[in-house]
Amino acid sequence: MKRIIILLSLLIVAWRVAAATPEIVDGVAAVVNDRTITYSEVRMLAMPVIERLRQQYDGDELIAKVHAAHMDALNQLIERALILQEFKEKGFNIPDNVIDRDLSDVIANEFGGNRETFIKTLEAQKMTLTQYREQLRERIIVQAMRSRKVQQEVVVSPAKMEKYYQDHLDDYKVGDQIKLRMIVVRRPDTNSVSAASPTAETAVDPRRKLADEILAKLDANESFDSLARTYSEAKEAKAGGDWGWITRDHLRDELREAAFQLKPGQHSKIVETADGYYILQVDDVQAAHEKPLAEVRDQIENILLQQKRAKLQEEWVKQLRAKAYIHVF
């Protein structure tokens, strides 16, 4: 009886999700001036999002998320209709060669230049080439119109950059850093050592002996860079073992402990780990600090410019909505 109740509950949830995702009956979802938006258009635009939602949520939460995805898709389609109508009212035009060029790019980049495969894909989606070209044309128009609205000169004042910097100081904090070099000598593959050899466990590891010899050369003031290029078995060997600037969380515990106690110019003793023998050298040290505004000014300016342009587009769409007839069913 309990299993029957659980099954019925699952069926009810599945039915409710299906109800939140109309898949059979089509109809008018909205009217934007003289443009009709259908439920199938909304469904098609929302479907990729809904497929991801179904993998993450279930029950009432899934139903709410699906509904929100449909509303978001509907609003996108309303905005697109408004922008296309504005394009037409302004008397603008997109030359056919622009559409031809983008179509050629799609076939080249997404279908390996195979036009036949492209056409078969359209047929599988029950779409004609003419319909696809129209979709492509509309996408180009929307992108062009949105870009046009933010092409006007947008300036971010130094005062606003300073305020953003002060409000987001945590984003620009940098922990202790060291400029690290490393020589790595790998342990031998234990599977390659013959189990029949009576000295397999007691023999001196020749790899450890090599690491000892490298350390002796370093103690005799030979160049770490040169020794790393000659002996290190890590991918950084070609760069003289240079790992660049790293923070504490870049290293595992045993290496971190050895590395962050070194002073600039010092090298470590051999650090033995499960996979090999490591010798570290620190070229420079940088204490925890906040990146200065001068260092991140360009980054902050780009963030604020994007925010301003997004605001301009939002205000423009609001103006289009205000003068349009929009009815959502």
pLDDT band at residue 175 using 50, 70 and 90 as cut-offs: confident
In this prediction, residues 47-75 reach a mean pLDDT of: 93
Residue 9 in this model has a pLDDT that exceeds 90: no
Residues 6 or more apart in contact with residue 40 via CB below 8 angstroms: 26
Percent of the chain with pLDDT over 90: 71
Write the secondary structure of the chain as one string of H (helix), E (strand) and C (coil).
CHHHHHHHHHHHHHHHHHHHCCCCCCCEEEEECCEEEEHHHHHHHHHHHHHHHHHHCCHHHHHHHHHHHHHHHHHHHHHHHHHHHHHHHCCCCCCHHHHHHHHHHHHHHHCCCCHHHHHHHHHHCCCCHHHHHHHHHHHHHHHHHHHHHCCCCCCCCHHHHHHHHHHCHHHHEECCEEEEEEEEEECCCHHHCCCCCCCCCCCCCHHHHHHHHHHHHHHCCCCHHHHHHHHCCCHHHHHCCEEEEEEHHHCCHHHHHHHCCCCCCCECCCEECCCEEEEEEEEEEECCEECCHHHHHHHHHHHHHHHHHHHHHHHHHHHHHHCCCEEEC
Candidates 280, 270, 265; CA nearest to 210 is: 270
- Predicted local distance difference test score (pLDDT) of residue 152: 66
**Residues 182 and 232 sit within 8 Å (Cβ to Cβ):** yes
Range 53-74 average pLDDT: 93
Q: What is the mean pLDDT of the chain?
A: 86
Which residues does 328 contact at the CB level (< 8 Å), separation at least 6?
29, 30, 74, 78
What's the per-residue H, E or C state across 200-230?
A: CCCCCCHHHHHHHHHHHHHHCCCCHHHHHHH
What pLDDT digit, counting tens, does each position of 177-188 carry?
Answer: 999 999 999 987
Torsion, Cα 12 13 16 20, to 10 degrees, reads: -170
Each residue's pLDDT tens digit, 284-329:
999 888 999 999 999 999 999 989 888 888 899 999 999 999 999 8
Q: Is the pLDDT of residue 276 over 80?
A: yes
Q: Write the single-letter amino acid at 212.
A: D
| CATH code at 175-187+205-288 | 3.10.50.40
Interatomic CA distance for residues 190 and 200, integer angstroms: 9
Question: So where are the chain's domains?
Answer: 2-151+319-328, 175-187+205-288
Strand partners, 327: 31
pLDDT in tens, 145-170: 988 877 666 788 999 999 999 999 99
CATH number (1.10.4030.10, 3.40.50.720, 1.10.3720.10, 1.25.40.10) of 2-151+319-328 reads 1.10.4030.10
Confidence of residue 215 (pLDDT cuts 50, 70, 90): very high
Both tokens of residue 215? 């350390």
User: What is the pTM (predicted TM-score) of this model?
Assistant: 0.58
Partners of 242 in the β-ladder: 181
C-alpha atoms less than 13 angstroms from C-alpha of 153 in its C-beta half-sphere: 2
Indicate if the pLDDT at residue 271 is higher than 90: yes
> How many CB atoms neighbour CB 199 within 10 A?
9
pLDDT score at 166? 95
Residues 6+ apart with CB under 8 A from 238: 229
pLDDT confidence of 132, banded at 50, 70, 90? very high
Query: Is the separation of the CB atoms in 198 and 294 below 8 Å?
Result: no
Both tokens assigned to 156: 């971010």
Residue 70: other Cβ atoms inside 10 A:
21
Average pLDDT (249-264) is 92
